[in-house]
Chain A
Amino acid sequence: MTQALVDAIAEMEDEEAIRLANEMIENGTSPLEILEACKGGMAIVGDRFEKGEYFVPELILAGEMLKQISEIVKPHLAAGGDTPKLGKVLLGTVTGDIHDIGKDIVHFMLEVNGFEVHDLGVDVPIGSFVDAVKADQPDVVALSGFLTLSYDAMRDTVAALSAAGVRDGIKIMIGGGTVDDQVRVFAGADAFGLNAMDAVNLAKSWTKAGVA
């Protein structure tokens, strides 16, 4: 049944995936095993996205399945039953911009790939990013922005992190519909990504290499 759940998620059969998750809980399957199946299904989804077989709609539906299954499983999770994390990512859409869909996809893809994600939401004031970096000590800061006004906001956020003396301990990635390498240089970020899988791969490379 675990494999059936992996397949249902991978094949975008959302009703079947939810049905299976409910059945597995009723049969006493361990919640962690169900979440592992989710991870397996999402790995296939992410892989197909990178290969150009799946697109944003598949990521959205996958995220929806993940959210619903998490809600089914959560009440049954024992306290402290979490798996160890690959690293900590601080995420948010920069000040002035309220776009969130891309950021939310990055959020769950990072989570399902083993990262602890602290999501500050949208239109995040520069000061909030600085405070959160000081409090969380993340490995990676991920700045999202869709409008061209976000370039200045990204640059100012990175500059504020430098001024606060916390820039050196972190890696910074930027993403959004219009970012490119010119924007990366302008903003003073370490890398840019065009989609959620880029974010996952960047976070993995930075935490595995121990550079963050």
Chain B
Amino acid sequence: MLPDNFASLTSEQKIDARLADWISTEGKPFASPEVAELYRSRAQRYADAFRLRQPDRVPTSVVTGDFQQHVMGVTLADYFYDYPKAVGAAIGFYERFPLVDYFPFSNFQPGPVFDLLGYTLYRWPGGQLAANQGYQYVEGEYMTADEYDELIRNPEGWLLRTYWPRVMPALSGLAGFPSLLGSLELPFVPFAFSAIGSPQVTAALETLLEASRLTGQFNANMGQLIGTAMFGRGMPVTLGGFSKAPFDFLGDTLRGTRSVMMDLFRRPQKVLAAVEAITPLAVKMAVDAAVGSGVPFAFLPLHKGADGFMSDADFAKFYWPSLEATLRGIVAEGVIPMMFVEGGYNSRLAHMAEANLPAGTTGWMFDQTDMANAKKFVGSWAAIGGNVPGSLFQTGTPETMRAYVRTLMETCKPGGGFFMAPGVVLDHAREENFQAWLEAGLEYGTY
């Protein structure tokens, strides 16, 4: 329950109020008082780290991607199409690795929904890919250069009527969705609803309903899994919503990588206007989901601002300002944005530090960034973690893993504000290396 004066609180007070709700075990159906206490202590530990306090020990968190499937002997396609099998495998994974404290997100996805929509942006296992081929984005230009103006002027209108039909062809009828001004006067309404009643729009709406029904089937299973993890085993869920940097929304799956990079030279003003227009949508998507789920953390994977992907000047001009605005917007609603900083950010840390984001309101899961520098430039104002390489999980040994964790803890643990995590979404690992990582996190993580 949020306090009555929530709206008038500061950002940090809002975050603390939402965290208190998240940590609280009151009125939640835990299997036993012991499980409830396990949940509470784990959630408190995580919140402490993110609020830059020193918990009892460093929390360890992992996004397991495809790893659960591989280690439990099911296929990636099973996690897209056989929900009961996926739920069973996931629960088996928690039993096999009891040191995993927090609900480990994985590539458990509603394959039938993507099939129904004819989702062209990606290929996935059990769909166009073989059973154990991981899902992948299909690079392309999904927004043409001359569509910038409409995106800038009317982003959700363009997305609804042009982009959604483009990437989900089963919804092509949305192109005919009428102007939303059509509800503003009584005589306008029949015109608007005649458009809605057209065969094409009707077909799109019926497909949306069916997609909703299929998603509900998936959610029932996901809900069962989360319920087992949280109330049966005391595992807090640490991600409530998703978003991205506005430049990544524009560059990843609207313009596509090649085109957005050339846009930096050919139409820089359009790029700037586009990321500005996307910013409030990026904020809303993160906040709505986080607030709705009761988990006040939003996950933002960062892509195209990494070292080497653009110059420092381009980062400062095109990538950072709208990302900063997005983070401030999310924080203002009392939600903590957790950035997965893919690639390296060694050249970006100093610039980030100059932004003076409010202390203890953001989290940064690094990958190839030097962690001593991350501690130095970011650690005083934000929670940091990550960095343990995917190559170490997959090609290293338990000994080299333990050594890596020990050094990382020594560098980053002091003073708190640190969480232990892989530097990648973990798709592949030798089981003994994963277990060694968990154990080393426990051994070297106490304060």
- Give A residues with C-beta under 8 Å from B: 12, 14, 53-57, 60-61, 64, 96-101, 147-149, 151-152, 177-180, 182-183, 185-186, 195
Contacts and interface: CB of A to CB of B under 8 A. Distances in A.
B261 A57 contact: yes
A196 B395 CA distance: 24
A195 B257 CA distance: 16
Contacts of A151: 391, 394-395, 428
Interface string B313-352: 0100000000000000000000000000001000000000
A62 B359 CA distance: 42
A182 B395 contact: yes
Contacts of A12: 265
A107 B308 CA distance: 18
A117 to B, nearest CB: 19
Given A98-B123, A149-B427, A56 B139 contact: no
Nearest to B261: A57
B280 interface: no
Interface of B: 66, 123, 133-134, 136, 138-139, 257-258, 261-262, 264-266, 308-311, 314, 343, 389-392, 394-396, 424, 427-428
A186 B134 contact: no
Contacts of A61: 261-262, 265
Contacts of A53: 311
A119 to B, nearest CB: 16
Contact of B138 (A57, A98, A152): A98
A89 to B, nearest CB: 22
A-B interface, 6 closest residue pairs, ranked by CB to CB distance from nearest: A57-B261, A186-B395, A60-B261, A182-B391, A148-B390, A148-B428
5 contacts: A55-B310, A60-B261, A147-B134, A148-B427, A178-B391
A14 B264 CA distance: 12
B308 A57 contact: no
A97 B265 contact: no
B422 to A, nearest CB: 10
B265 A57 contact: yes
B309 A14 contact: no
A18 to B, nearest CB: 12
Contacts of A149: 66, 133-134, 427-428
B134 A56 contact: no
B308 A148 contact: no
Contacts of B66: 149
Contact of A100 (B123, B133, B139, B394): B139
A12 B264 CA distance: 11
A55 B396 CA distance: 31
Nearest to B427: A148
A177 B114 CA distance: 28
A150 B66 CA distance: 14
| Chain B CB within 10 A, most for which of A61, A97, A148, A177 | A148
Given A64-B262, A147-B136, A55 B427 contact: no
B394 A148 contact: yes
A165 to B, nearest CB: 26
A55 B348 CA distance: 14
Contacts of B310: 55-57
A195 B307 CA distance: 12
Given A97-B136, A151-B394, A56 B427 contact: no
Contacts of A195: 308
Contacts of A101: 139, 257-258
Contacts of A180: 389, 391
Contacts of A178: 389-391, 424
Given A55-B310, A60-B262, A148 B424 contact: yes
A97 B138 CA distance: 11
A64 B262 CA distance: 9
Nearest to B311: A55
Nearest to A146: B136
A191 to B, nearest CB: 16
A178 B342 CA distance: 10
Contacts of B392: 182
Given A152-B428, A178-B390, A195-B308, A57 B343 contact: no
Contacts of A179: 391
Contact of B308 (A55, A98, A99): A55
A185 B395 contact: yes
A140 B265 CA distance: 34
Contact of B136 (A55, A98, A152): A98
B301 to A, nearest CB: 13
Contacts of A55: 308-311, 314
Contacts of B261: 56-57, 60-61
Contacts of B314: 55, 57
A152 B389 CA distance: 16
